Structure 1
Amino acid sequence: MLSGWSTSLNLVFFSLTWTTIAMTYSPLQLEFFGPLFLRTMLYILPSALFLFIDLLIPSLMAELKAQGEMGLPGRQKGGAKKLRRVVGWSVFNVLLAVGLQAGIEWLVTDVFKMRSLLLIKGSRWSVNHLPNPWSLFKHAILGLVSRNILQYYIHNHLLHPPTGGTLAQWHQTWHHSIYVPYSFVAAYDHPACYLLHRFLPLYLPAIAFRFHMMTYLLLLTLFSLEELFTYSGYNILPSTIMLRGMARRTDAHMMTQGKGNYGPLGVLDWVNGTTVGADVMEDLQEEMEKHHVQERAGSAIDDAGDAANGIAGKLKSRARKGRGKK
């Protein structure tokens, strides 16, 4: 009962907080400061913390790296100069994407006097400016699927095409100049490649289907954490949504100079035969075995069968008693 009250109160306070924010700030301010806050708190600062720890105690952190000492940022080719370049351009690219989104919003709302590209204020009949749960869930799934599809085909056909090209050369000389990834490497790329590969696959579906700002921020949270962990190089990661498998495929993509593993989840790599190393189905099987899914499913089926037999037995017993009374 206390847990239910606590959840209800949290939802009420969250609703009031978002309503106050939505009524206080303009769409342009929300589209700038919301993504900026999330990208800073969930990607830039944690990446800096991981890097600081890797540099501070390399002997200990090498034990936690999937590639051992090869995965330590300070031991990689280029030394401190290369490290500063990676960090500087990564932060620049993240801020560039946030600024570009705010610039597009300014152009649309202030210059052309059109409605905001993302749904922020809600309809005029909306009281709390929050999306209804079904819309949030539907758009979140749509955003996840769209982003993964766009990232796979952009990464495969534009950044790693068989015939090469300007974008592919930039991607190869920037992003793939790093052999073993660490978190900042996720955003280290030529700015044009970064916007094409990291920013547009999320932003385009969001404005095409006019996601609510809360849905967009939720997706941005998930993708920031995904980039942080899958590029971290650590072998100790949360196993939720097969994160360890995603990190292994990221390592394989970087260490093979982009020979495969073009999608974040690995589903389209499995479908198209572009997986390098263990595929997503093997990761899914590993997750099931780790959590004893088959055993639990079998136990649940057995329990359901026992319950059904018990109910059937009671019904038969009542039927016999009824016939005896007659």
Structure 2
Amino acid sequence: MLSSWSTSLNLVFFSLTWTTIAMTYSPLQLEFFGPLFLRTLLYLLPSAAFLLFDLGVPSLSVEIKAQGEMGLPARQRGGAAKVRRVVGWSVFNVMLAVVIQAGVEWLTTDVLRMRSLLLIKGSTWSFNHLPNPWTLAKHAILGLVSRNILQYYIHKHILHSPTGGTFARLHQSWHHSVYVPYSFVASYDHPACYLLYRFLPLYLPAIAFRFHIMTYLLLLALFSLEDVFTYSGYTVLPSTIMLRGMARRIDAHMMSQGKGNFGPLGVLDWVNGTTLGADLVDDLREEMERHDVQERTGRAIDGAGDAAGGLAAKFKNRSKRGKGRG
């Protein structure tokens, strides 16, 4: 009962907080400061912390790097100067995407006097500013799926295609000038390639289906953390199934100079046969073996069978005793 009350109060406080924010700030301010805050808090600052760890304590960092000493940023080609270039352009690209999104919102609402491209004020749930929970979940799944599909085909058929032209050349000379990734490398690319591959696959579905801005920010937060961890080069990651396999595939993509592993999750690589190394199915199988899922399931089934057998025996004995008394 207390847990239920606590959850209800948290929802009420969250609703009040969001409603206050939505009533206080304009759609343009929300579309600028929301993404800026999340990208800074969940991508730039963690990436900076990981980089400082790699540079400050390399003897400890190398122990948890998947590629060992090769994975240390300062030991790669270009040294400290290259690291500074990667960090500088990564921060620039992140800020560029935030500014472009805010600029599009300004052009739409202030200049053309049209409604916001993302749903910000006005909904069907409490306080008229929060998204319907079912709509939020549906749009979140839609955004996740559409982003992964767009990223796979943009990555494979434009950024790594012989017919990709300027985009392919720029992506190869910028992003793939780093051999082993670290977190800032996720956003290190020519700005045009970054916008095409990182920004548009999330933003276009969001405005096409007019996501609520809270749904958009939720997905932005999720993908920011994904970039931090999957490009970190570390073997110690929060999730043993998804993130560890994704990080291995990104390592293989970078070290092969883009010969495969074009999708973040690896599902479309598995379907289209472009996986390098272990695929998604192998990751799931390995995880099951690591946690002895099959063995535990077998033990649970055997235990349930023994319990059912014991229960049946008890009923049988009672039935016999009842007949004997009769």
8 Å contact kept, 1:15–1:130: yes
Match of residue 100 from structure 2 = 100
SS of 1:4's partner is: helix
SS of 1:63's partner is: helix
8 Å contact kept, 1:97–1:195: yes
- Residues 150-176 of structure 1, C-alpha deviations (whole Å, 9 max, x = no match): 000000000000345110000000000
**Amino acid across the alignment from 2:254:** M
Instruction: Give the Å deviation of 1:235.
Output: 1.1
CA 1:303–1:88 in 2, change beyond 3 Å: closer, same or farther? Answer: same
Match of residue 39 from structure 2 = 39
- Residues 17-41 of structure 1, C-alpha deviations (whole Å, 9 max, x = no match): 1111111111111111011000000
Instruction: Give the Å deviation of 1:255.
Output: 0.4
Identical-residue share of aligned pairs (%):
80
8 Å contact kept, 2:124–2:132: no
Alignment of 1:266-281 (within 5 A): 266-281=266-281
Q: Does 1:60 align with 2:60?
A: yes
Q: Which moved more, 1:195-204 or 1:300-309?
A: 300-309
Match of residue 73 from structure 1 = 73
Match of residue 263 from structure 2 = 263
Q: Aligned partners of 1:230 and 1:125: how far apart in 2?
A: 35
Q: Aligned partners of 2:21 and 2:307: how far apart in 1?
A: 51
Instruction: Give the Å deviation of 1:10.
Output: 1.5
Q: Which moved more, 1:39-48 or 1:234-243?
A: 234-243
Match of residue 49 from structure 2 = 49
SS of 2:258's partner is: coil
**Amino acid across the alignment from 1:134:** W
SS of 1:130's partner is: coil
CA 1:112–1:54 in 2, change beyond 3 Å: closer, same or farther? Answer: same
Match of residue 110 from structure 1 = 110
Q: Aligned partners of 2:96 and 2:277: how far apart in 1?
A: 34
Q: Which moved more, 1:312-321 or 1:302-311?
A: 312-321
Match of residue 206 from structure 2 = 206
User: Which ranges in structure 1 are unaligned for 5 or more consecutive residues?
Assistant: none
Alignment of 1:1-326 (within 5 A): 1-123=1-123, 127-299=127-299, 301=301
Instruction: Give the Å deviation of 1:47.
Output: 0.4
- Residues 278-298 of structure 1, C-alpha deviations (whole Å, 9 max, x = no match): 111101112222333334444
CA 1:124–1:263 in 2, change beyond 3 Å: closer, same or farther? Answer: closer
Q: Aligned partners of 1:5 and 1:124: how far apart in 2?
A: 23
Q: Aligned partners of 1:208 and 1:90: how far apart in 2?
A: 27
**Amino acid across the alignment from 1:25:** Y
So what's the TM-score if we normalise by structure 1?
0.92
Instruction: Give the Å deviation of 1:319.
Output: 10
SS of 1:62's partner is: helix
8 Å contact kept, 1:39–1:94: yes
CA 1:304–1:168 in 2, change beyond 3 Å: closer, same or farther? Answer: same
Q: Which moved more, 1:280-289 or 1:222-231?
A: 280-289
**RMSD in angstroms over aligned alpha carbons?**
2.4
Q: Aligned partners of 1:254 and 1:150: how far apart in 2?
A: 19
Instruction: Give the Å deviation of 1:86.
Output: 0.4
User: Which ranges in structure 2 are unaligned for 5 or more consecutive residues?
Assistant: none
- Residues 71-128 of structure 1, C-alpha deviations (whole Å, 9 max, x = no match): 0011111112111110000000000001111111111111111111111112488624
Instruction: Give the Å deviation of 1:8.
Output: 2.1
CA 1:132–1:315 in 2, change beyond 3 Å: closer, same or farther? Answer: farther
SS of 1:173's partner is: helix
Q: Aligned partners of 2:222 and 2:110: how far apart in 1?
A: 30
Q: Aligned partners of 2:129 and 2:41: how far apart in 1?
A: 24
8 Å contact kept, 1:15–1:128: no
CA 1:306–1:253 in 2, change beyond 3 Å: closer, same or farther? Answer: same
Q: Aligned partners of 1:124 and 1:60: how far apart in 2?
A: 52
- Residues 225-268 of structure 1, C-alpha deviations (whole Å, 9 max, x = no match): 00000100111112255211100100000000000000000010
SS of 2:115's partner is: coil
Instruction: Give the Å deviation of 1:302.
Output: 5.1
Q: Aligned partners of 2:26 and 2:318: how far apart in 1?
A: 68
So what's the TM-score if we normalise by structure 2?
0.92
Q: Which moved more, 1:293-302 or 1:100-109?
A: 293-302
Q: Aligned partners of 1:175 and 1:263: how far apart in 2?
A: 16
Q: Which moved more, 1:18-27 or 1:175-184?
A: 18-27
CA 1:103–1:294 in 2, change beyond 3 Å: closer, same or farther? Answer: same
